[in-house]
Structure 1
């Protein structure tokens, strides 16, 4: 094995061990002398953000580590669209999103200058937008991201809007997702010793501190299965509920254009209306979306959701009623 291959092997080894490795352990794994490891570490320090702790463990500072990826023009566009969607759907400024878009734009300028310039301009718009600058929010998001990437528990203080109280948790981050409702980002995970998942809105977390306690995150398939029946992020241990909606002729074509949920089924009715059906973990999460269609949708099932819409209609009638 060549020296370059050894250096690459050392980089991959350190990436695989977020808590770092001692020189003796590195030497054993690479099959080289400790003096050789010392030389390798010195050389890698020139182009990798290495650090050495008080306990002698050598690791990579993941906040400053740059990953190298190779993308096609179509893959680059997919990342650009995802980044724009995230920034458009959250109301707080994220400098990392702007930086990522700028890097993506610069990388494309050589062979797709028009698209590269467009993406770079988008990064400028993100930075100059009037979204809120919230350093606490950003620090919390960075801490949650680091805890998730390194499998370390996060100690956090979360404000509950229901009780009005601040509560302290030890939290294992399983995933972080954007959520259109409230233009927010949500952290989903568990507190040690609890059976059920928790979903915490990131902008309601007042403080987050990374601990040295570790956890084993679930495999992606488990999280996908957990959220499979959710309308967004609300999940349930119970069986999903059949939701049946009837859309008017005026909006039927718009409903047909989109796959709103993986389980949806649509039936064209003889009068031009559309019957839409899906199995949803928690139908209450659909309420803002259903309400957005106004009088062009009627809830057929479940009864509880129909009753809630009927009550909403009565309130609206009382507000807008004129003699």
Structure 2
């Protein structure tokens, strides 16, 4: 089994098919140059690597296919890559890796464009290393991509300025740039369905502080509705608000209450693992409907008067079908 540093070295060499000097590898991995030889020897057990002109490279396999682009396609790709690299606030090391691989295939017939693309990849790598936020952003992005590709729901936490952290469970449908342009910035977003609902939202990935893939699959429907950007909940004060207390089987069941006017939820986990949520919520038929929608995932604990009214409503509904 490969060690963490050896795995990082393999990724680094794949990202730099032109090869890297030992000193540069040590700098990028954050280790002393003297340890690189040991990592190289360990990696040779798994893949074919060699050293040429003081550059460590991965040997190209015969079955690896080269991308043959015309000079015009190459220039168009170069311009598109530059636009992509400058339109996003956060730079991506995988973009730099892909650029280098394509640049290697252009060296024989478009050397100037190849050089431009390699320089662009270096600029991206430099920005990634200089900006600590890039690492966190790309880690979240990778989890979202894995969730999207594997078709599994992801639990995310948003840290929006001025608001409490928001936990959401989402089935990702699409990852890409938002259509809106806010001050020249094009944020990368994830669009998907909220778990336990049919609501589709779009979330700026830069607002996500953590993401974990859950062991629950989903499918993307063919007839998607127009996407909308998710805004943080507002704080309301109304005459008819209920100090609602709920017992939750799943925290994600709270997603159904997004269409209900409510205050900030306060969660409490009891010693037996029971999750309690307290919040002020509007006293409306919408609230009743959302609780019914939760099924047995939510139980009303209080106030007692509201619990009795809810049970009375359920009994009236049942009476229609039992008569």
TM-score range, shorter chain: 0.3 to 0.5
Q: TM-score, normalised by structure 2?
A: 0.44
